[in-house]
Amino acid sequence: MTAPNQSIVIHAAHDLRIEARDVPTPAAGEVLVEMQAGGICGSDLHYYNHGGFGPIQLREPMVLGHEVSGRIAALGEGVDGLHVGQLVSVSPSRPCQACTYCLRGQQNHCLNMRFYGSAMPFPHIQGAFQQRLVAQASQCVPADGLTPAQAAMAEPLAVCLHAIRQAGDMVGKTVLITGCGPIGCLSILAARRAGAAAIIATDLSDYTLSLARSCGADHALNTAMQSEALGPYQTDKGQIDVHLECSGAAPALASGVACLKPGGVLVQLGLGGDMTVPMQAMTAKEITLRGSFRFHSEFATAVAMMQSGLIQVDPLITHSFAISDCMNAFETASDRSRAMKVQLVF
- The per-residue pLDDT for 324 is 94
Residues 172 and 149 in one domain: no
Q: Could you tell me if residue 296 is inside a domain? A: no
Q: Could you tell me if residue 298 is inside a domain? A: no
- The per-residue pLDDT for 5 is 87
Residues 246 and 227 in one domain: yes
Residues 220 and 123 in one domain: no
Could you tell me if 133 and 70 are in contact, meaning their C-beta atoms sit under 8 angstroms apart? yes
Checking DSSP bridges between strand 30-39 and strand 67-75, what pairing results, if any?
antiparallel
Nearest to 313 by CA among 112, 69, 130: 69
- Please state the domain count of the chain: 2
Q: Could you tell me if residue 54 is inside a domain? A: yes
Residues 216 and 127 in one domain: no
Residues 169 and 228 in one domain: yes
Residues 53 and 175 in one domain: no
Residues 143 and 269 in one domain: no
Distances, alpha carbon 49 to alpha carbons 75, 158, 326, in Å: 37, 25, 14
Residues 164 and 144 in one domain: no
Give the 3-state secondary structure of residue 277.
coil
Query: d(Cα 314, Cα 154) in Å, to the nearest integer?
Result: 12
Residues 113 and 87 in one domain: yes
Residues 146 and 176 in one domain: no
For the chain, the distance separating the N- and C-terminal CA atoms, rounded to the nearest angstrom, is: 21
Range of the domain at 44: 5-153+313-345
- The per-residue pLDDT for 24 is 85
Could you tell me if 258 and 283 are in contact, meaning their C-beta atoms sit under 8 angstroms apart? no
- The per-residue pLDDT for 230 is 97
The whole-number mean pLDDT for each consecutive block of 10 residues of the chain, a chain of 346 residues, reads 79 96 93 98 95 92 98 97 97 97 97 95 96 97 98 98 98 98 98 98 97 97 95 97 96 96 97 86 97 97 98 97 97 95 97
Q: Could you tell me if residue 304 is inside a domain? A: no
Could you tell me if 71 and 34 are in contact, meaning their C-beta atoms sit under 8 angstroms apart? yes
What is the Cα 30 distance to its own chain's centre? 24
Cβ-based neighbour number of residue 251 at 10 Å: 14
Query: d(Cα 237, Cα 251) in Å, to the nearest integer?
Result: 18
Nearest to 331 by CA among 37, 45, 22: 45
Q: Could you tell me if residue 297 is inside a domain? A: no
The reported pTM is: 0.95
Residues 16 and 141 in one domain: yes
Could you tell me if 103 and 125 are in contact, meaning their C-beta atoms sit under 8 angstroms apart? no
Q: What is the CATH number of the domain that holds 265?
A: 3.40.50.720
